[in-house]
Amino acid sequence: MAEKRKPLEKVEEKTDNSAKQEALNAALKNIEKTFGKGAVMRLGDESAKMDVDVISTSSIGIDMALGIGGVPRGRIIEIYGPESSGKTTIALHIVAEAQKAGGNAAFIDAEHALDPVYAKALGVDVDNLIVSQPDTGEQALEILEALVRSGAIDVAVVDSVAALVPRAEIDGEMGDSHVGLQARLMSQALRKLAGIIKKSNTAAIFINQLREKVGVMYGNPEVTTGGRALKFYSSVRMDIRRIETLKKGTDMIGNRTRAKIVKNKMAPPFKTAEFDIMYGEGISREGDILDMAVELNIIKKSGSWFSYGEERLGQGRDKVKEYLKENPEFADAVEQKIRDHFAKKDEPEVPEEGSEALTKDQAEMAAELSDEDMDEFFELNEFEEE
């Protein structure tokens, strides 16, 4: 008969907290010595602060939909949508905002289609904008890596992922099959870039195009180019769609555009923003401010008339947009009120001094009680009805 095994002796855990702390500190010092300072840190340390810097998109609607007031720095952002929906326009506005704040911007023009005149009209300092028009996808991503590694770039735009053609495809002949080559290129590049982008605090914006999957009967047949890697590595993904053409008489003067935040690691996703993109001007700041102010009841709308307090601003949306354009100080004041509203909304509620709040269990219990029992409930829990 087989002998019974003796039960394994339990390893005694050290209960001395000071000994544990000394061992942990020694391990941390050893890691820092081996891998360099900052390789490991406590989340509460000043060096590990998680506050994210942002760059405005020039659209207050998109800034609020993003939940943090703009696109995050040190992260990867994907902007995609159909042709002529406003993807490059939004990217150029972000570049302009970064430059206004004294930052440097780079534009990797893989499509070879950047219009400097239009970029200048949007507020981009074209004289100081770093532009590259690479021959291959590998070259574009190597240039992007070198610029990001410098630590001197605040925002880098790649326009577009679909135009990042692998070298093998360039060297090959028309009709040659290169299955999965671009997806492999993007996956390899993003593995390297993600960490560098975070350390250099660069906002890396990838503009992407749409394709359609063949034979899809149910669900959305649309798919972005370059494989799935960009979807995973992106902290923010924006879907840009043109929803209406703006007209003045018979002339077409712009597009009404909708941006949907389909992925957001910085704030709750799936928020939308609508704004005007005017031909030759870009995003209409005045239209954006007006729409948000009406939504928040800062500017009141009665019929076709718009008023601020007792003052009537004008009849019709276009007239009020002109009024805001002619009175930039008033427009700035309204914009600040909108931003203050969202800032206040994000602040956690602090109970007044001397007051107490219901716990979760107490709230659930109160919901189940009848009106007659409420007095007794508040008395037992030492609360007073207001």
310 or 114, higher pLDDT? 114
Please report which confidence band the pLDDT of residue 385 belongs to, taking 50, 70 and 90 as the band edges.
very low
**358 pLDDT exceeds 70?**
no
Q: Which residues contact 361 (CB under 8 A, 6 or more apart)?
A: none
Residue 167: helix, strand or coil by DSSP?
helix
Contacts 24+ apart (CB under 8 A), 40-45: none
- For residue 328, give the H/E element and its range: helix 328-346
Structure tokens at 308: 């601020």
Which segments within the chain are labelled E, that is strand?
A: 54-55, 71-72, 76-80, 105-109, 130-132, 155-159, 203-208, 210-212, 222-224, 236-248, 251-264, 272-278, 282-283, 300-302, 305-308, 311-315
What is the pairing mode between strands 203-208 and 76-80? parallel
| pLDDT value of residue 135 | 95
| pLDDT value of residue 144 | 98
What the chain holds in terms of domains, given with CATH numbers, is 52-167+179-282 (3.40.50.300), 284-339 (3.30.250.10)
Annotate 25-78 with DSSP letters as a single string: HHHHHHHHHHH-TTSS--TTSGGG--PPPEE--S-HHHHHHHSSSSEETTSEEE
**384 pLDDT exceeds 50?**
no
Of 290, 321, 283, nearest to 85 by C-alpha is 283
| pLDDT value of residue 18 | 87
Q: What are the binding residues for ATP?
A: 81-88
Please report which confidence band the pLDDT of residue 93 belongs to, taking 50, 70 and 90 as the band edges.
very high
**185 pLDDT exceeds 50?**
yes
User: For the residues 116-140, what does the mean pLDDT come to?
Assistant: 97
**290 pLDDT exceeds 90?**
yes
| pLDDT value of residue 378 | 53
What percentage of the chain has pLDDT greater than the value 90? 70
Q: Distance of alpha carbon 7 from its chain centroid, rounded?
A: 56
Sign of CA dihedral 273, 279, 281, 285: negative
Structure tokens at 214: 């063949």
Please report which confidence band the pLDDT of residue 350 belongs to, taking 50, 70 and 90 as the band edges.
low
**367 pLDDT exceeds 80?**
no
Please report which confidence band the pLDDT of residue 364 belongs to, taking 50, 70 and 90 as the band edges.
low
Structure tokens at 141: 């991503």
Length of the chain counted residue by residue: 386
Q: Mind listing the pLDDT tens digit for each residue in 314-343?
A: 999 999 999 999 999 999 999 999 989 888
Residue 335: helix, strand or coil by DSSP?
helix
Strand partners, 278: 254, 282
Sheet holding 305-308, edge to edge: 300-302, 305-308, 311-315
Of 63, 90, 50, 52, nearest to 341 by C-alpha is 63
CA distance 145 to 193: 7
Q: Mind listing the pLDDT tens digit for each residue in 22-68?
A: 999 999 999 999 988 878 888 777 665 567 899 999 999 999 999 99
**CB of 164 closer than 8 Å to CB of 140:** yes
**CB of 190 closer than 8 Å to CB of 229:** yes
Neighbour-count burial of 271, counting CB atoms closer than 10 A to its CB (0-12 exposed, 13-18 middle, 19+ buried): middle
